[in-house]
Amino acid sequence: MTVLSRLVLTDFRNYAAALIEPGPGFVLLSGDNGAGKTNVLEAVSLLTPGRGLRGAALSEMARSDGPGALAISARLNPNPFVPSEVEGRSRQRVSTSLDTNGVVELGTGTLASAPDRRQVRINGATAAVNALAEWLSVLWLTPAMDRLFTDSAGARRRFLDRLVLALEPGHAHHAARYEAAMRARNKLLAEPDAADPAWLAALEAGMAEHGAAVAEARLATVEALDARLADSPDDGFARASLALEGGTEGNLADILRAKRGRDAAAGRATHGPHRHDLAVIHRATLQPASRCSTGEQKALLLGIILGHAELVADRRGAAPILLLDEVAAHLDPGRRAALFARLEGRGQVWMTATEPALFEGIAAATHYAVAGGQIVRR
């Protein structure tokens, strides 16, 4: 099981310096609104590729009265899961062997001279941001995600890609390469007189190659998670049915070549996996999630996160770290107890709440009080 045994924050959000040394199960953070509980979860989320659970710019995360740089460091203990197909490549890139106890040190942050350029170190060696996915899986649920089913298709794609990344660490690489090729193609199409057909063809070939990997990983994740949810217990959490929409049928390179004129007029690529959407239906009522009540939508989303966490644990051999921000406050006592029971023994679960009473029923946990930029163990 992957356990984050040490987290150090330096000039991050409202923390000049903070240290947390949590245990392997529940990690509870209680404190008033605005105390900085979600900031801690955000720091943990940044130990994986992407922009974290808020999607904020790095320059916004540096402490406002600090030096303009930030640092997050973490220790994973004991042996984290490393997928067999990437283990050799990962160790070679990091170029630093694990110590005899299997401890892994992760670090990420910025420099004052480059506040929006992310730096990553793994076991003391410089590494690519996407390499973080090979060492740690993190899933989260925040109040801002409550509107996911009525939000844009882009928001649901980003949510889906987070689920995919937890199962397929290489997904971040293919998604980034696809987006880079698409941006370059869009720029060339905006200047038709300067567009080189050979260069356009090369970019479209790159989009086709990486787009196929992106589409395959998304579809595999959706199908596996849909099957998991179909077989999940009826324990008070709504069960969703999932499907991937906005298909990418046909040879993408050929389609892109044929659509150059249309895409130039539109100012964007009109076909490809960047048009995918995650369709979610309430299994019991057969209603699209977007038409369900607010309470049903929250239950559907929580059920998806829980089902996916269990799927990741089965597939990767280690449970992901779960970050649940203010989730308990929105559940009645019975459903809260059911949630705690389902999470017990499922790996490390970080939870926030304004009142410690909302954690009643959790037998064993590392509990911290958060106030005034300080984190104190209760």
The CATH code belonging to domain 1-137+318-378 is 3.40.50.300
Mean pLDDT over 96-107 rounds to 68
* CA 338 to each of CA 23, 260, 308, 363: distance values in angstroms, whole numbers, following the listed order: 22, 53, 17, 13
Calculated CA dihedral for residues 30, 35, 41, 42, nearest 10 degrees: 170
Residue 82 φ then ψ, to 5°: -125, 120
The pLDDT of 100-112, averaged and rounded, is 88
Q: What is the spatial distance between Cα 18 and Cα 35, in angstroms, rounded to a whole number? A: 13
Is the overall model pTM greater than 0.85, yes or no?
yes
Report which secondary-structure segment, H or E, holds 261: helix 260-266
- Provide mean pLDDT across the span 345-350: 91
Structure confidence at residue 101 (pLDDT)? 64
Q: What is the DSSP letter of 115?
A: E
Superfamily designation of domain 151-294? RecF/RecN/SMC, N-terminal domain (1.20.1050.90)
Q: How confident is the model at residue 81 (pLDDT cuts 50, 70, 90)?
A: very low
CA Rg, the chain, in Å?
A: 21
Quote the pLDDT of residue 78. Answer: 62
Of 51-60, 94-103, 255-264, the least confident: 94-103
Residue 236, burial from CB neighbour count under 10 angstroms (0-12, 13-18, 19+): middle
* Helix (H/G/I), strand (E/B), else coil: 275: helix
Does the pLDDT at position 349 exceed 60?
yes
Q: Write out the two tokens for 299.
A: 């239950």
Encode pLDDT of 122-165 as tens digits: 999 999 999 999 898 999 999 999 999 999 999 999 999 999 99
pLDDT-based confidence at 1, cuts 50/70/90?
Answer: low
Amino acid identity, position 169: P
> How many residues comprise the chain?
378
The two three-digit tokens of residue 369, written as one number: 């009080």
20-57 pLDDT per residue, tens:
999 999 999 999 999 999 999 999 999 999 999 999 99
**Rounded mean pLDDT of 75-95?**
46
Q: What is the pLDDT of residue 96?
A: 38
pLDDT tens readout for residues 266-277: 999 999 999 999
Q: Say how many C-beta atoms besides its own lie within 10 A of residue 352's C-beta.
A: 27
Q: List the chain domain ranges.
A: 1-137+318-378, 151-294
